Structure 1
Amino acid sequence: MRNSFLFMIFGALILFFASVFVVQEGQRGIVLRFGKVLRDADKKPLVYVPGLHLKIPLIEKVKTLDARIQTMDNQADRFVTKEKKDLIVDSYLKWRISDFSRYYLATGGGDVSQAEVLLKRKFSDRLRSEIGRLDVKDIVTDSRGKLTSDVRHALNTGTTDDETAKTSADDAIASAAALVEKETQGKQKVTVNPNSMAALGIAVVDVRIKQINLPTEVSDAIFQRMRAEREAVARRHRSQGQEEAEKLRATADYEVTRTLAEAERQARITRGEGDATAARLFADAFSKDPDFYSFIRSLRAYENSFNSTDVMILNPDSDFFRYMKAPKN
């Protein structure tokens, strides 16, 4: 009896735990009965908010959807601007599920990869269209983020037929929106633009451009032109420097020549004044006794004229030897 009671309690616990399910915070739950989604009166899938809920064991299963903001990083791609110039744009966007029932139906059971494929194609087409309306200057100096704001708004609200040509992404999203209308038998209360992400139950939260680069061939050409311009500027500065150096060198040579000439002139003047002063002193000194001056000059002449190897033939009565004769009494 006791074992039967324990077995009943154990079976009741198993049945209880199999009948309840918990939806975690940041998630939403959709219940499938025999593989089909439980729907409300409008044929929309029932969405369970975070908390504890009940289900029929072994018959119903729970599919959870992530309600948090997702980040989709796009690979850098080539875009053409209004002035027909190529840019390599690296970007990303953040999105979340805004309508869980619509998202579940449009993506074939909440397949994130399928949703991101459609979102990536639509985002690439829209970004290409917006960049094609701007030139490089407007794109690079987009300080207020008007470009990304316009892209986000277009993704969320869609575009009219006369605003841009339809793309394959628009056709794919329209097909998904038609599938939702078919599944709900046209009982959706909210009408959305079939080429907007709202048709998939997705809301784009933010769009950001991480980096804008020029293609390799264009950047190489620009770098070569910049290098040539810098080299031209360098050559101009070098020639100006050489010109200034020649001017300074010529000025220095002129100053040296002028200083040497002035010094030579001053030296000649000083030497002439000294010679004149010496001559005047000699003249004053010897004018006081001319005979003594004549005697001194004769002695100097004897000193410079006679040596052991010279032979002179002179008349002894010459006036040159007058001071070598005996004085007359």
Structure 2
Amino acid sequence: MSNRSFLGLIVLALGLFVAANSVYIVSEYERAVVLRFGKLINPDVEPGLHVKIPLADKLRKFDGRILTTDARPESYYTIENKRLIVDSYSKWRIQDVQKYYKATGGDEAVAANLLASRVANALRDQVGGRTLHEVVSGKRDELMHELTLELNGVANELLGIEVLDIRVKRIDLPEDVSQSVFDRMAADREKEAREYRSKGAEQAEVIRADADRQVAVLEANAYRDAEKVRGEGDATAAATFANAYEQDPNFYAFVRSLTAYKKSFANKGDLMVVDPDSDFFRYLKDINGKK
């Protein structure tokens, strides 16, 4: 290979190197800055294809999408001086690339730590001005909304980032008070259960007494109706017997005597001492019952 050909290859390689280091692409989900000898010359590069000076210019890219910072659990005190362990996270993204780069050096971990520190301080202030009930359930959404608005202004001014949302994943009580709180809750539930059982027993007694009263009324009414029907039946029977007796008194006396004989001599072991001339045997002596 001749010197001219070798020189041509060197020039070509150098040209390719310069071309490769002169062109760069910024995607739509990225934010970028350009430094020239360490000095910021383009604080917010638009997405697309761009050209820079090789070796002199340096490109720094950052993730422009929504990022999540998961803070470690922190201990806070409520206005009642009750300690809580709060585990939270925040959603944010780069708003001002120049401020972001100057404040964090373009390091996402540095930005996350700075934001987490400010979230912890703001949470401490918000929790410290509320009761345990308000923090746990009553006004948690309101607390998070106020906290997001407060931190968004500070973070945008100091870090160049936009805080989109701050949420609490869980709130725990310290281990040294969890058991006492659990015991108190159990005692409250037991007290409530006793009240429910007492009210239930009272209602059961009222229902049982009302049922007994209704049973007594029904039985009394039934006995009254039964006696009335029985009385009417006895009256009807007596009237029937009297009517039959009036139609043939002799026959009625004869039938009644036969019935008496049947009942008297039903058991062979019975012993009856009766005067033979008494009226009891008159139908045995005469078919007409004459004495």
Q: Residue type matched to 1:63 in 2?
A: R
Corresponding residue for 2:114? Answer: 118
Corresponding residue for 1:262? Answer: 225
Counterpart among 159, 163, 167 of residue 209 in structure 1: 167
Counterpart among 54, 57, 63 of residue 52 in structure 2: 54
Q: Structure 1 residues 223, 294: CA separation in 2 closer, same or farther (over 3 Å shift)?
A: closer
Q: Secondary structure at the match of 2:121?
A: helix
Q: Equivalents in 2 of 1:294, 1:243: separation in Å?
A: 60
Q: Equivalents in 2 of 1:211, 1:118: separation in Å?
A: 20
Q: Is the 8 A contact 1:76 1:91 kept in 2?
A: yes
Q: Structure 1 residues 52, 214: CA separation in 2 closer, same or farther (over 3 Å shift)?
A: same
- Per-residue deviation, residues 199-245 of structure 1 (Å, max 9, x unmatched): 3x333322333456563544663355235314422441243024302
Q: Structure 1 residues 78, 224: CA separation in 2 closer, same or farther (over 3 Å shift)?
A: farther
Counterpart among 11, 15, 20 of residue 18 in structure 2: 15
What 5-or-longer segments of structure 2 have no aligned partner? Answer: 287-291
Q: Is the 8 A contact 1:119 1:197 kept in 2?
A: no
How do 1:159-174 residues align onto structure 2 when only pairs under 5 Å count? none
Corresponding residue for 2:196? Answer: 233
Q: Is the 8 A contact 1:89 1:212 kept in 2?
A: yes
More deviation, 248-257/97-106: 97-106
How do 1:89-168 residues align onto structure 2 when only pairs under 5 Å count? 89-107=86-104, 109-136=105-132, 139=135, 140-142=137-139, 146-158=142-154
Counterpart among 275, 279, 283 of residue 238 in structure 2: 275
Q: Residue type matched to 2:129 in 1?
A: R
Q: Secondary structure at the match of 1:71?
A: strand
Q: TM-score, normalised by structure 2?
A: 0.69
Q: Equivalents in 2 of 1:129, 1:306: separation in Å?
A: 109
Q: Secondary structure at the match of 2:21?
A: helix
Q: Is the 8 A contact 1:19 1:54 kept in 2?
A: yes
Q: Equivalents in 2 of 1:24, 1:63: separation in Å?
A: 13
Counterpart among 40, 53, 67 of residue 64 in structure 2: 67
Q: Secondary structure at the match of 1:68?
A: coil
Q: Equivalents in 2 of 1:269, 1:308: separation in Å?
A: 38
Q: Secondary structure at the match of 1:106?
A: helix
Deviation, 1:282, is 1.2
Deviation, 1:85, is 4.6
Corresponding pairs, count: 271
Q: Is the 8 A contact 2:44 2:98 kept in 1?
A: no
Tell me how large the CA RMSD over aligned residues is.
4.2
**Structure with the larger helix share:** 2
Q: Structure 1 residues 14, 231: CA separation in 2 closer, same or farther (over 3 Å shift)?
A: same
Q: Secondary structure at the match of 1:49?
A: coil
Q: Secondary structure at the match of 1:148?
A: helix
Q: Structure 1 residues 231, 298: CA separation in 2 closer, same or farther (over 3 Å shift)?
A: closer
Q: Is the 8 A contact 1:86 1:214 kept in 2?
A: no
Q: Residue type matched to 1:131 in 2?
A: V
Q: Equivalents in 1 of 2:9, 2:210: separation in Å?
A: 114
Q: Secondary structure at the match of 1:56?
A: coil
Q: Structure 1 residues 208, 223: CA separation in 2 closer, same or farther (over 3 Å shift)?
A: farther
Q: Structure 1 residues 232, 321: CA separation in 2 closer, same or farther (over 3 Å shift)?
A: closer
Q: Structure 1 residues 263, 86: CA separation in 2 closer, same or farther (over 3 Å shift)?
A: farther
Deviation, 1:91, is 3.3
Q: Is the 8 A contact 1:21 1:55 kept in 2?
A: no
Q: Equivalents in 1 of 2:254, 2:193: separation in Å?
A: 87
Q: Structure 1 residues 135, 300: CA separation in 2 closer, same or farther (over 3 Å shift)?
A: closer
What 5-or-longer segments of structure 1 have no aligned partner? Answer: 41-45, 159-195
Q: Equivalents in 2 of 1:94, 1:115: separation in Å?
A: 12
Q: Structure 1 residues 308, 198: CA separation in 2 closer, same or farther (over 3 Å shift)?
A: closer
Q: Equivalents in 2 of 1:252, 1:262: separation in Å?
A: 15
Q: Is the 8 A contact 1:71 1:95 kept in 2?
A: yes
Q: Equivalents in 1 of 2:144, 2:267: separation in Å?
A: 117
Q: Residue type matched to 1:198 in 2?
A: E
Which structure carries more relative contact order (alpha carbon 8 Å, separation 6+)? 1
Identity percentage over the alignment?
24
